[in-house]
């Protein structure tokens, strides 16, 4: 079902007219409720729904242009506003809904809505500045958004001052992440105010999870924000920006049941990059009590395996040496697009001692199949994946990681807490004992595996004893990497509705500092076991702290620093070379800290040949 949820508002400078808009919104929300109740496939797949604005003119002053060209543009804007205010009718919606399904799915067909022309959807070489916050998925979303805008005639700029459109790809996982965006908007407000009237008006957009979570609040609080686009609405960016050109605020915050952007080839934002993110699934069904992700990213849905393999092949052809498969719950991947693999007889195996918060799904091509196929594309390309859930590590996945040289021996295993009581309150689906048993099983299955984890300090009802159990888990496991945060309650979550955020902020911060201290101590111990060993490192570039050193990452995803000197190339006997980004080199580790390894380089090699030395 492709029904969508679209806010389309026009705010005026008049308080009275503004309240009129809010009243209109109240009635329009009833339309949304009716639409959600529809179960008819053709109606649900309608590509747009226009909510009439309560003003026909822009709430922002029109740019004064004394020239004939300016008068012509003002006339075009008035014509656009007129079309916007008078259409489409309900007949337009029914006509659109009756379009054959094959036409709707055709990438060549991009009919504009009745209130826009094809030309108005084009960027006309306006410059876009993209700013990314948050997780790796947001990095990939930035590349998807830019791919869509680039095809519509927009140009990319890294200079904020020359941008015509500024888009912030945002995060909502914690309050601090959202506050960063509010602060940034205040800075951009100054830039927008200072925009010369002779220039194209500056448009500002909020994309991603914060747009999804705080849609109404952003539009009401920040009138300088022109567009909002949720994580599943990036295809709609050209239309939203076209509407913004009339001075209206526009938003599409649909959460789709099937959008995966499978047919959109992300454009790498860094031409010199050695690695890339490949999104394989979106959304999450786990509904952990503390987590906002299911409400900002929607339900789980996976890309077809074929589209993922095609993207990885293209990245290999471009010379990239590492791919990270992405998903909010990446190892729950399930491709149901091929009917022959949808048999209920294909069982779903969870990690031993783990359970799911939802009815176990059956059938489809699972993560082990995808990982197997991806790893076969290019033996010289490293494969990673994040972020997994501990429940979805059946033996076939662990065995595959062990067997394939180009699948990194590194697993992210979010624990969140070391207390079984807190884990139950978090609805994680496992106890401390089951988690520790899985750790032992992974280390037995994949010798030398590097482990990382996430932890939350000060969750609802966490006692000092619960906290000490988390401390002891850090000491017992000795993770190589960790991501630790103080709990931040999010609206809409189960914890918000059913639990009490009763750990004082100063206690949360004190416990967080204690966890960080213990983690660093234990990670240093774990990483020091690498001293004296030779490791394969993928070179990323110059070290940020020294112009005479290079930086790269080992199989366990730890940063490795080594001198930028000439070395032997084992694939070309007698040849001396300097390492370049994208090269594999062997480094003998001489020292270690909680976050970094240091060593001296031995030679340039290949992933295949490195197994002789490592």
Binned at pLDDT 50, 70 and 90, residue 84 comes out as low
Report the DSSP pairing between strands 127-132 and 165-170: parallel
Q: Tens of pLDDT along 465-495?
A: 999 999 999 999 999 999 999 999 999 999 9
DSSP characters for 34-55?
A: HHHH---HHHHT-S--PPPPS-
Of 508, 491, 484, 389, give the one whose Cα is nearest residue 172: 491
Start-end of H helices in 14-135: 15-37, 41-44, 68-86, 90-97, 101-104
Q: Is the pLDDT of residue 38 over 60?
A: no
CA distance 110 to 392: 39
Peptide bond into 257 cis (omega under 30): no
**What average pLDDT does this structure show over 510-522?**
98
> Which pLDDT value is given to residue 87?
58
Residue with more model confidence, 73 or 212: 212
> Which pLDDT value is given to residue 361?
82
Both tokens of 478, joined, read 């000795």
Binned at pLDDT 50, 70 and 90, residue 612 comes out as confident
Q: State the virtual CA torsion across 303, 309, 311, 315 in degrees, nearest 10.
A: 150
Report the DSSP pairing between strands 382-386 and 322-326: parallel
**What average pLDDT does this structure show over 404-414?**
97
> Which pLDDT value is given to residue 89?
60
Binned at pLDDT 50, 70 and 90, residue 572 comes out as confident
Residue with more model confidence, 31 or 562: 562
Distances (CA, A) of 285 to 134, 213, 358: 20, 17, 7
**Where does residue 198 rank: exposed (0-12), middle (13-18), buried (19+ CB within 10 A)?**
exposed
Q: Is the pLDDT of residue 57 over 60?
A: no
Where do the domains of the chain lie, and which CATH numbers do they carry?
118-252 (3.40.50.12160), 272-408 (3.30.750.210), 531-610 (2.40.50.140)
> Which pLDDT value is given to residue 578?
95
> Which pLDDT value is given to residue 71?
52
Q: State the virtual CA torsion across 458, 462, 465, 469 in degrees, nearest 10.
A: -70
> Which pLDDT value is given to residue 464?
98
pTM: 0.82
Of 543, 540, 563, give the one whose Cα is nearest residue 552: 540
Residue 411 main-chain phi, psi, to 5 deg: -130, 130
Q: Tens of pLDDT along 333-361?
A: 999 888 766 665 566 788 888 888 888 88
**What average pLDDT does this structure show over 366-375?**
96
> Which pLDDT value is given to residue 340?
64
Both tokens of 414, joined, read 């979010």
Mean pLDDT, the chain, whole residue set: 84
Residue with more model confidence, 40 or 263: 263
Q: Tens of pLDDT along 159-217?
A: 999 999 999 999 999 999 999 999 999 999 999 988 877 788 999 999 999 999 999 99
* Residues 225, 185 contacting (CB under 8 angstroms): yes
Measured on CA atoms in the order 294, 299, 305, 306, is the torsion positive or negative?
Answer: negative
């Amino acid at each position: 079902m492709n029904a969508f949820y679209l806010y389309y508002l026009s705010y005026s400078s008049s308080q009275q007219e503004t309240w009129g808009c809010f009243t209109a919104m109240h009635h329009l929300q009833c339309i949304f409720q009716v639409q959600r109740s529809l179960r008819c496939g053709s109606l649900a797949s309608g590509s747009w729904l226009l909510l009439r604005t309560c003003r026909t003119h822009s709430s922002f002053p029109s740019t004064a242009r004394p020239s004939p060209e300016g008068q012509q543009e003002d006339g075009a804007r008035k014509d656009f506003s007129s079309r916007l205010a008078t259409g489409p009718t309900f007949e337009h919606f029914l006509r659109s809904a009756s379009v054959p399904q094959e036409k709707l799915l055709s990438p060549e067909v991009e009919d504009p809505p009745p209130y826009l022309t094809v030309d108005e959807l084009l960027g006309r070489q306006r410059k876009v500045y993209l700013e990314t916050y948050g997780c790796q998925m947001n990095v990939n979303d930035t590349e998807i958004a830019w791919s869509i805008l680039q095809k519509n005639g927009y140009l990319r700029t890294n200079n904020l001052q020359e941008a015509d459109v500024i888009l912030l790809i945002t995060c909502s996982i914690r309050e601090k992440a959202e506050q960063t965006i509010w602060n940034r908007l205040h800075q951009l407000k100054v830039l927008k105010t200072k925009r010369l009237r002779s220039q194209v008006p500056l448009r500002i957009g909020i994309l991603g999870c914060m747009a999804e979570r705080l849609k109404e609040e952003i539009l009401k609080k920040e009138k300088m924000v022109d567009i909002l686009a949720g994580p599943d609405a990036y295809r709609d960016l050209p239309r939203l920006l076209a509407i913004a050109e009339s001075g209206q605020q526009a938003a599409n915050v649909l959460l789709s049941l099937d959008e995966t952007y499978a047919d959109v080839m992300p454009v790498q934002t860094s031409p010199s990059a050695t690695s890339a993110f490949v999104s394989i699934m979106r959304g999450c069904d786990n509904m952990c009590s503390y987590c906002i992700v299911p409400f900002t990213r929607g339900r789980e849905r996976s890309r077809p395996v074929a589209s993922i393999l095609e993207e990885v092949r293209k990245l290999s052809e471009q010379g990239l040496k590492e791919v990270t498969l992405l998903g909010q719950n990446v190892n729950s991947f399930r491709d149901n697009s091929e009917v022959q693999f949808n048999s209920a007889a294909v069982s779903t195996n969870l990690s031993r001692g783990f359970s799911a918060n939802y009815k176990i799904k059956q059938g489809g091509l699972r993560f082990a199949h995808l990982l197997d196929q991806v790893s076969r594309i290019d033996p010289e390309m490293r494969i990673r994946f994040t972020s997994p859930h501990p429940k979805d590590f059946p033996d076939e996945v662990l065995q595959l990681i062990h067997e394939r040289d180009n699948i990194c021996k590194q697993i992210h295993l979010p624990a969140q807490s070391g207390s079984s009581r807190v884990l139950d309150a978090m609805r994680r689906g496992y106890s401390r004992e089951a988690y520790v048993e899985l750790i032992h099983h992974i280390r037995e299955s994949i010798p030398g595996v590097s482990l990382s984890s996430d932890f939350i300090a000060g969750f609802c009802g966490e006692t000092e004893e619960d906290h000490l159990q988390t401390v002891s888990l850090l000491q017992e496991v000795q993770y190589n990497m960790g991501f630790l945060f103080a709990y931040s309650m999010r609206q809409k979550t189960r914890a918000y509705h059913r639990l009490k955020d009763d750990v004082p902020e100063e206690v949360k911060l004190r416990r967080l500092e204690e966890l960080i201290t213990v983690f660093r101590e234990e990670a240093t111990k774990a990483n020091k076991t690498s001293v004296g060993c030779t490791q394969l490192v993928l070179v990323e570039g110059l070290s940020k702290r020294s112009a005479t050193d290079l930086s790269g990452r080992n199989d366990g995803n730890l940063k490795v620093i080594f001198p930028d000197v000439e070395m032997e190339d084992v694939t070309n006997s007698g040849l001396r070379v300097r390492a370049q980004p994208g090269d594999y080199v062997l480094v003998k580790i001489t020292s270690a800290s909680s976050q970094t390894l240091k060593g001296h380089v031995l030679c340039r090699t290949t992933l295949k040949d490195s197994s002789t030395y490592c």
